[in-house]
């Protein structure tokens, strides 16, 4: 859905939930079909299945790594080791509601600290998830 005065989306997708946290999610095109399970930490049985937080962590890590890769290509960074982005997503209690927590652990082997930090900073400017959650994600750059 576009906001008034905004550009036409480049890509849209639709997914549906069936049965909440203990059900499954699927995409309209059939490419995504994931069984969900409630973790024991949230009162569930911890059975087989993913959680919405796992799905979000995977999407966040992939999107952020792609954004940094786009910057590295555009700025013609010399070859460096394989970058690694690991997202940790959690829930924190806030009364009877929950707040989402998110952190990215980023490893960019073979880059000087200032060049690596530049990729992280520019990644935040380009990544759609980072932009949507501005100020809500912790970014931790690690030495290789």
User: In the block, which residue shows the tokens 């550009």?
Assistant: 7
Confidence grade of residue 143 (pLDDT, cut at 50, 70, 90): confident
Backbone angles phi, psi at 139, to 5 degrees: -110, 120
- Tens of pLDDT along 47-94? 999 999 999 999 999 999 999 999 999 999 887 778 999 999 999 999
10-50 and 52-142 share one CATH topology? no
The answer to whether residue 2 scores a pLDDT higher than 80 is no
Fold of 52-142: GMP Synthetase; Chain A, domain 3 (3.30.300)
Q: Which residues, 6+ apart, have CB-to-CB distance to 43 below 8 Å? A: none
Parallel/antiparallel/unpaired status of strands 24-27 and 33-35: antiparallel
Cα–Cα distance between 138 and 100 in angstroms, integer? Answer: 12
Q: Which percentage of the chain shows pLDDT scores above 70?
A: 96
Q: In this structure, are strands 84-94 and 33-35 parallel, antiparallel, or unpaired?
A: unpaired
Cα Rg of the chain, angstroms: 18
Say whether domain 10-50 belongs to CATH 2.20.25.10.
Answer: yes
Domain ranges of the chain: 10-50, 52-142
C-alpha 133/C-alpha 56 separation (Å) is: 12
């Amino acid at each position: 859905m576009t906001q008034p005065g905004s550009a036409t989306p480049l890509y849209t997708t639709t997914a549906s939930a069936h049965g909440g946290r203990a059900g499954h999610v699927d995409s309209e095109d059939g490419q995504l079909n994931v069984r969900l399970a409630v973790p024991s930490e949230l009162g569930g049985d911890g059975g087989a299945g993913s959680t919405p937080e796992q799905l979000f962590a995977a999407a966040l890590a992939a999107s952020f790594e792609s954004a940094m890769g786009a910057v590295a290509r555009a700025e013609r960074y010399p070859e460096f080791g394989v970058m690694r982005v690991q997202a940790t997503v959690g829930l924190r209690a806030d009364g009877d509601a929950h707040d989402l927590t998110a952190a990215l652990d980023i490893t960019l082997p073979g880059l000087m600290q200032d060049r690596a930090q530049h990729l992280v900073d520019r990644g935040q400017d380009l990544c759609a998830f980072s932009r949507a959650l501005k100020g809500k994600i912790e970014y931790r750059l690690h030495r290789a």
